[in-house]
Amino acid sequence: MTTPASRTRSFTTVFLIEMWERFGYYGMAALLVLFMVGQLGFDDSRANLTWGAFTALVYAAPSIGGWIGDQILGARRSMVVGALILAAGYLMLAMPDDSLHHMYASLGVIVVGNGLFKSNAANLVRRIYEGDDARLDSAFTIYYMAVNIGSTVSMLATPWIKDHWGWHAAFAVCCAGMLLGVLNFLLMRRTLAHIGSVPDDAPINYRYAAYVAVGAVALGAGTTFVLQHKAVAVSCVYAAGVAVLAVFAWMLMRAERAERAGLVAALVLMLQAILFFIFYQQMSTSLTLFALRNVDPGFTLFGTTLFSWSAAQFQALNPIWIMLLSPLLASLYTSLARNGRDMPVAVKYALGFAVVAAGFFVFAASGRYAVDGRVSSWFMVGGYGLYSLGELLVSGLGLAMVARYVPARMSGFMMGAYFVATGVSQYLGSVVANFAQMPSGELEPLVSLPLYTRLFMGLGWLAALGMVIAIALLPLMRRLSREHHESNVAALKEAAAQREGAR
């Protein structure tokens, strides 16, 4: 029997390896665009689009990894193998080789590792709290905080290490963090002995495992090729978008009638999440380049400079705010559920778009108070605070949305499909970021400031449009949620009747 204490121990094990995995990934992410611009000589457009194509592949790969975890290796095994491959990718970036082919190959290895890790880690959380919707949103909100504990430390540490010991030393720290996460998991693995997919409890099928290994090599090589050819990358992104819709159509045809309302609800919310990730992608692209060129690095209070950050470190404001806000939201969700006033996910999405819009309006307004093309760092603090609250309300509940509306037998694959959808929007976000690209060779802050503030104002209005659409869809979402709940209740009654008849 699963007790609350055993659930907590199981959740803690997944929480910790996720925290260290995100430490490695976001430590690398904080630097990569700046590494391409500052070390490899890329212009803004090429760096943004390369990052966009990479992140699209990073988020698309879990659709395959989720299926492998469900059907071949098992969720637990896939997660650990993925973590080890990620460590290898960071180790490759740490090597003193600045050739483009080496960088692209390193990113290809990272795509493979993330594909095996990401959806399977989330699927384990889903299985830990299976059947407990009241705890599910809270669990995924706290799980999302694991992402931000790891990313906060690494986003502050890796730019500092880069400034003192160079780019490759900073990437080496990402590798070390991932290896620590694997070691910690191996020490705590018994807490997950009863959690996983069916293949986890069976001996490894080495023939199928060999097929997975060959597929991993092919995916890594394919990623290396795609990143070097923009036209191929664009075609892959749009093909992935079509594939997500095809997956949903296939799932709807295969699903039982009682399951269809939940799948349609998941589709509607997933399309809204695609819009959100266009905003999310700005953190590593336009907001970081804005910080490099137009933000005063010093945090000044009453005329006294308290400390200074490099451009990459401003990205840490996002996870810092997430950590501050996550426990408050998780407590609020639990309290509302306890009192029978649980806020629907669709309402949370609408509120999320509203505060994201407010955050980008703050970034846009900062230009009015610029001095010599530089704005106060406190505008970044305020803008990131609103942006991060919106992220928690939308992205933080994306996986919980899949877990709530999608049948358990489809969850691993559907969580992968969710990541494909976010990958498509990540690429679109990098395309949007290029609306503020600097003229070639131009570094003057007074030239770049209006480019960025105009982009941020447009993004604010786009988020406001997302809020209006989310509000307009609320009646439909209420109906779908009601039908989904009623079908679940009917299924539980039928199962209970069958058990009673068997006695």
pLDDT tens figures, 329-342 = 878 877 887 787 77
- Domain ranges (residues) in the chain: 4-502
Cα Rg of the chain (Å, integer): 22
d(CA 137, CA 403): 9
Query: For residues 28 and 269, which has the higher predicted lDDT (pLDDT)?
Result: 28
By mean pLDDT, which of 95-104, 124-133, 299-308, 404-413 is the weakest? 404-413
CATH number of 4-502: 1.20.1250.20
List beta partners, residue 308: 298
By mean pLDDT, which of 104-118, 180-194, 251-265, 368-382 is the weakest? 251-265
d(CA 397, CA 391): 9
In tens, the pLDDT along 441-492 reads 555 777 789 999 999 999 999 999 999 998 998 888 778 777 776 776 666 5
Kindly tell me if the per-residue pLDDT of 500 is higher than 70. Answer: no
Query: For residues 240 and 415, which has the higher predicted lDDT (pLDDT)?
Result: 240
Q: Which of 272, 26, 304 is nearest to 146 (CA)?
A: 26
Kindly tell me if the per-residue pLDDT of 502 is higher than 90. Answer: no
What is the 3-state composition of the chain as percent helix, strand, coil, each rounded to the nearest 5? 85, 5, 15
Going by pLDDT thresholds of 50, 70 and 90, the confidence category of residue 275 is confident
Widest distance between CA atoms in the chain: 81
pLDDT value of position 4: 62
432 dihedral zone (left: phi>0; alpha: psi -120 to 50; beta):
alpha
Query: For residues 131 and 368, which has the higher predicted lDDT (pLDDT)?
Result: 368
By mean pLDDT, which of 107-111, 224-228, 264-268 is the weakest? 264-268
Buried b (16+ CB within 10 A) or exposed e, 100-124: eeebbbbbbbbbbbbbbbbbbbbbb
Secondary structure class of 168 (helix, strand, coil) = helix
Residue 296 has phi, psi (to 5 degrees) of -65, 120
- The answer to whether the beta carbons of residues 52 and 430 sit under 8 Å apart is yes
Kindly tell me if the per-residue pLDDT of 396 is higher than 60. Answer: no
pLDDT value of position 393: 84
pLDDT value of position 1: 45
Residues 6 or more apart whose CB falls under 8 angstroms from that of 483 comprise: 261
Q: What is the mean pLDDT of residues 213-229?
A: 91
In tens, the pLDDT along 45-59 reads 888 889 988 988 888
- Mean pLDDT across the chain, nearest whole number? 84
Which amino acid, 181? Answer: G
- The answer to whether the beta carbons of residues 379 and 323 sit under 8 Å apart is no
Kindly tell me if the per-residue pLDDT of 405 is higher than 90. Answer: no
Q: Please report which helix (H) or strand (E) contains residue 308, including its range.
A: strand 304-308
Kindly tell me if the per-residue pLDDT of 287 is higher than 90. Answer: yes
Residue 374 has phi, psi (to 5 degrees) of -115, 135
- The answer to whether the beta carbons of residues 192 and 10 sit under 8 Å apart is yes
Q: How many CB atoms lie within 10 A of CB 488?
A: 18
List beta partners, residue 415: none
List beta partners, residue 375: 295
**What is the total residue count of the chain?**
503
Q: Which two tokens stand for residue 152?
A: 């906060």
Query: For residues 108 and 232, which has the higher predicted lDDT (pLDDT)?
Result: 108
Q: Which of 36, 124, 37, 18 is nearest to 74 (CA)?
A: 124
pLDDT value of position 13: 87
pLDDT value of position 489: 65
Residues 6 or more apart whose CB falls under 8 angstroms from that of 4 comprise: none
Query: For residues 327 and 103, which has the higher predicted lDDT (pLDDT)?
Result: 103
By mean pLDDT, which of 83-87, 236-240, 427-431 is the weakest? 236-240
In terms of average pLDDT, the best of 143-147, 166-170, 349-353 is: 166-170
Q: Looking up tokens 């929007």, which residue turns up?
A: 425
